[in-house]
Amino acid sequence: MKRTIPILVVLAALLAAMAVVNPFFLEPAGFLAFVKRAAPLVILAAGQYFVIVSGEFDLSVGSLVTVEVVVAARLIDGQESATWWVLLLLVAIGALVGLVNGLVTTLLSVPSFITTLGMLLILSGAVFLWTGGAPRGALSQAFRVFGRGDLGPVPWSVVILVVVAAAAVLLMRADFGKRLMATGDNDRAAALSGVRVARTRILAFVLSGLAAAVAGILLGGFAGVSAQVGQGLEFSAITAVVLGGVVLGGGRGSVVAAMAGAFSLEALFALLNLYGISGPLEYTVQGVIIIAAVAAGAAQFPSRLRAST
Amino acid sequence: MSRRQSLSPLVVTAAVSVLLAAGCTSDRPPGATGATTSASASAGSGAATEGANTGEQSKFFVQADFDAQLAMRGKEAQGPADRPWEQAIDPKMVSTADYKKKAGDRHLCFSNAAVNNPWRQVGWKSMQAEVALHKEITKFTALDAEGKDDKQISDIAELQGQGCDALIVSPNTTATLTPAVQAACEKVPVIVFDRGVQTDCPVTFINPIGGYAFGADGAEFLVEKVPAGGKVLALRILPGVDVLETRWSAAKVIFDQSKLDVVGVEFTDGDAAKTKSIVSDYIQRHGKIDGVWMDAGATAVAAVEAFEDAGQPVPAIVGEDQQDFLQKWKQEGLTAIAPTYPTYQWRTPIIAALKILNGEEVPETWKLPQPKITAENLDKYLQPNMPPLHYAMCGCETMPGFPANWGGK
């Protein structure tokens, strides 16, 4: 839990800064609008956390999100009746892509960096081939409710986020979480103590794929069909996880901190936008964060400085 | 170990806040300057100070071209009114007797910059359909450069060895492709369309009136529809692209002369979610936005939805001729306009090539009319059977294979 505190402090500071710049943020509607906007990235970060804490990467989530949205639009094509089976199919696609990532990484011993980079290229190429750059079809109203509509005063995406977050926390508290942590910390030791390392990692990839499916459903619902919807999301998710103090290489870090990292990143982007700084600088900020966070994790600070914090 | 890790977010925050501070005070890249200063400067000021909020003029702006394009909008195009892709504004005809070939089979070649967006998709379909209309074209060789200059340069070189009777080029970028086009001109009659090249060696250069007219059409509409002092948000895709810079720079000139308050100029990257977020932020910050100007219509529906989701009436808005926007416009009875960059221009190069090979005169600079869709003619262009990103101004409705080949039902 201690590890979670710094990112929560950061998040609180960013939220306070937002409230100063934009008082509407303090009203329930304004705050919920922010949570709604952050929900897809937070869910992706939770998925990415499972993979990273098991000692791997998942670079394919951004293009997977695009695939989900483009496939949904093409298959639903505006018919309300198609909504539910397409939703199920999307979840299955997410799980399948995660499964393939996991199998290739573990059974074929391909480093996950390469596996998922390859998957990113395969998926984005496939989307382009299938759509020719212009997605067809349209999403149904029932589909879009999840990203756009409200359940009473609360946006649906916030409800879904709460459910996903609770599930993620419970998973990490269960035996699975301990096995995952052990795998990421030292897979040899974990294997010797009876953890089925490959199976654990495969499951982590499947969870990341599922998270991408949910994020895709929310993003497609929020803003409609686009062939660029998932662009760069893999880096945002990894940045969020790293910002949450989760160690690349695995074995350390909490899922709550990873999600708080995603909220912080989203708050930072919103803040940059409120100050009128946006566009390319967002990438710069992410780059600085990734390097600074990993450097801070690796640097040896003098003990006095350490004590003072 | 754990202590060391736990430091990282704090260190990061420090780093980021330094970056933030730097971003606020130091020089920014020239392309971004206009937008960023305008947004931050306008956040506090309510008064509509003329020209203060739109930033510096784009370095792509050329006053003479701006004046010429705006004047061209009012001119009557010559040619059949029901076939605007064959029309030309102020044509200065050139002789093509040198290129005349005896009647018979034609082999046309086409070096295409890319088919990587819906606009180019629609155009490419129309061009293929145009080829199918002419029996004398027995061979049509097309190479797709996939948005890469170097590939297009080698494509053009390769096509020269294919025995083409005429070469059509849609350049990926202007300056880089110029030498390749010059080399091709020496071997075969060349027709350039859409983006230009910096040489007059092609027999004809075909495109619609242009970006200044596009940008001005939208801006003038807002000036007319939004009351003085009204708050206008301008959304651009990205800086530094000439065809988009001209659209914005024309709108800027018109906004600066008006009493409208441009409260922000933002870049959307053409992303619907980002567009919706930006518009939502502006609605929150200003309470009310009275007009939205856009340099392209792909994310116009997302902008409209931001107002709907905020429970506000949709203000006067500028879109483009994509079906999803036209449909929303009709459905919600929006106050809207759709300037166009007609995809029917993809038909013209084929017609031009055949004329040239027959020795008929063609305009040296073939300026096609560039209509705008207004409330009056909306119904004519709204086609509910077409896909959401189909461009209405395709001139393809009577071609064989329509609507199925364009993705319609």
* Contact (CB<8Å) A276/B36: yes
pLDDT of residue B351: 96
pLDDT for the residue numbered A41: 96
ipTM: 0.79
Residues of B with Cβ-Cβ distance to A228 under 8 angstroms: 269-271
Give the pLDDT of residue B47: 36
Express each pLDDT in A173-231 by its tens digit.
Answer: 999 999 999 999 999 999 999 999 999 999 999 999 999 999 999 999 998 888 888 88
Q: Which has more pLDDT, A266 or B47?
A: A266
C-beta separation of B56 from B29 below 8 A:
no
Residue with tokens 């011993």: A109
**Which helix (H) or strand (E) is B170 found in, with range?**
strand B166-170
For residue A23, the number of C-alpha atoms closer than 13 Å in the C-beta half-sphere is 2
The rounded mean pLDDT for chain A is 89
Short-list A225, A288, A252, A227, CA closest to A55: A252
Tell me: pLDDT of A142 over 70: yes
Residue A56's pLDDT band (cuts 50, 70, 90): very high
CA distance B353 to B239: 34
Closest Cα to residue B354, out of B9, B14, B100? B100
| pLDDT above 90: percentage of residues in chain B | 67
The listed range with the strongest mean pLDDT (A271-285, B31-45, B87-101, B269-283) is: B87-101
Q: Do B15 and A292 touch (CB under 8 A)?
A: yes
- Which residues have CB under 8 Å from B359's CB, separation 6+? B96, B97, B99, B100
Per-residue pLDDT for B40 more than 50? no
Other CB atoms closer than 10 Å to residue B380's CB: what's the count?
A: 9
- Tell which wins on pLDDT, B391 or B281: B391
Q: Is the pLDDT of residue B13 over 80?
A: no
Question: Tell me: domain A5-23+33-307, CATH 2.60.40, correct?
Answer: no
Query: How far are the Cα atoms of A235, A242, A262, B163, B406 from residue A46, in angstroms, in the given order?
Result: 14, 12, 9, 58, 41
- Least Cα separation, residue B249 to chain A (angstroms): 19
Of B43, B239, B277, the CB nearest to A37: B277
**Over the stretch B92-146, which tens digit does the pLDDT of each residue have?**
999 999 999 998 899 999 999 998 788 998 999 999 999 999 999 999 999 999 8
pLDDT digits (tens, 9 = 90+) for B229-242: 999 999 998 877 77
Angle at A86 between CA B401 and CA A117, to 5 degrees: 90
pTM: 0.81
Using pLDDT thresholds of 50, 70 and 90, give the confidence band for residue B32: very low
Best of A77, A225, A246 to substitute, by most chain B Cβ atoms within 10 angstroms, is A225
Nearest CA in chain B to A216: B273
Q: What percent of chain A is modeled with pLDDT above 90?
A: 61
Q: Is A272 on the interface with B (CB under 8 A)?
A: yes
pLDDT for residue B359: 93
Q: How far apart are CA B62 and CA B71, in angstroms?
A: 14
Report which of B228, B321, B307, B227 is spatially closest to residue B275, judged by C-alpha positions.
Answer: B307
Nearest to B301 among A33, A224, A268 (CB): A224
Chain A from 65 to 84: CB within 8 A of any B CB: none
User: What percentage of chain B has pLDDT greater than the value 70?
Assistant: 87
| Of the partner residues A2, A134, A288, the one whose CB lies closest to the CB of residue B15 | A288
Query: Token pair for residue A216?
Result: 């895709």
CA distance B111 to B196: 13
Look at residue A278 in the predicted model and tell me its pLDDT: 60
Q: Which helix (H) or strand (E) holds A195?
A: none
CA atoms within 13 A on the CB side of A261: 37
Is the pLDDT assigned to residue A102 strictly greater than 90? yes
Predicted confidence (pLDDT) at residue B375 exceeds the cutoff of 80: yes
Provide the Cα torsion A190, A192, A196, A202; round to 10°: 50
Looking at chain B, which residue has its C-alpha nearest residue A129? B116
Name residue, tokens 């998709």. Answer: B121
Measured distance CA(B247)–CA(B326) in Å, rounded: 20
- When pLDDT is cut at 50, 70 and 90, the band that residue B270 belongs to is confident
Q: pLDDT class for A279, splitting at 50, 70, 90? A: low
pLDDT at B340 over 90: yes
Task: Indicate if the pLDDT at residue B394 is higher than 70.
Answer: yes
| pLDDT at A65 > cutoff 90 | yes
Q: Flag the least confident range among A216-230, A290-304, B270-284, B316-330.
A: A290-304
Query: Best mutation site among B1, B2, B4, B5 for testing chain A: the one with the most A CBs within 10 Å?
Result: B5
B56: pLDDT strictly greater than 90: no
User: Of the candidates A56, A9, A70, which has an alpha carbon nearest to the alpha carbon of residue A243?
Assistant: A9
The structure tokens listed for B335 are 């106050």
More confident of the two residues A288 and B189 = B189
Mutate which: A4, A5, A7, vs B, most B CBs within 10 A: A7
What's the pLDDT score for residue A239? 92
- Mean of the per-residue pLDDT values of chain B: 86
B200 vs B37 pLDDT, higher one? B200
Partners of residue A294 in chain B, C-beta under 8 Å = 8
Q: Measuring CA to CA, how many Å separate A101 from each of A95, A96, A114, A237, A251?
A: 10, 9, 10, 17, 20
- Asked whether residue B167 carries a pLDDT value surpassing 70, the answer given is yes
The residue with greater pLDDT, B274 or B300, is: B300
Q: Quick one: B40 exposed, middle or buried, by C-beta within 10 A (0-12, 13-18, 19+)? A: middle
- Could you say which of B7, B20, B324 has the minimum Cβ distance to residue A301? B7
pLDDT digits (tens, 9 = 90+) for B197-230: 889 999 999 999 999 999 999 999 999 999 999 9
Q: Which residues in chain B (37-66) have CB-CB distances under 8 A to chain A?
A: 37-40, 43
Report pLDDT for B267: 86
Q: Which residues contact B71 (CB under 8 A, 6 or more apart)?
A: none
| Chain B residues within 8 A of A244 when measuring between CB atoms | 9
Tell me which of A22, A222, A300 to substitute to probe the interface with B (most B C-beta atoms closer than 10 Å).
A222
What residue in A sits closest to B270 (Cα-Cα)?
A228
- Min CA distance, A108 vs chain B (Å)? 32
The predicted structure's pLDDT at residue A219: 95
Q: Which residue has the higher pLDDT, A245 or B21?
A: A245
Q: What domains can you pick out in chain B, each with its CATH number? A: 1-34+90-208+343-368 (3.40.50.2300), 48-69+211-339 (3.40.50.2300)
Integer Cα distance of A220 and A66 in angstroms: 9
In the numeric block, which tokens belong to residue B379? Answer: 């119904």
In this complex, do B5 and A277 lie within 8 Å of one another by their Cβ atoms? no
Nearest to B6 among A228, A245, A285 (CB): A245
Of A7, A219, A274, the CB nearest to B9: A7
Hey, which residues 242-271 in chain B have their CB within 8 Å of chain A?
264, 266-267, 269-271
Which of B121, B264, B270 is closest, CB to CB, to A134? Answer: B121
Q: How many CB pairs under 8 A join A and B?
A: 178
Report the gap between the CA of B278 and the closest CA in chain A (Å): 8
Measure B92 CA to nearest chain A CA, in Å: 37
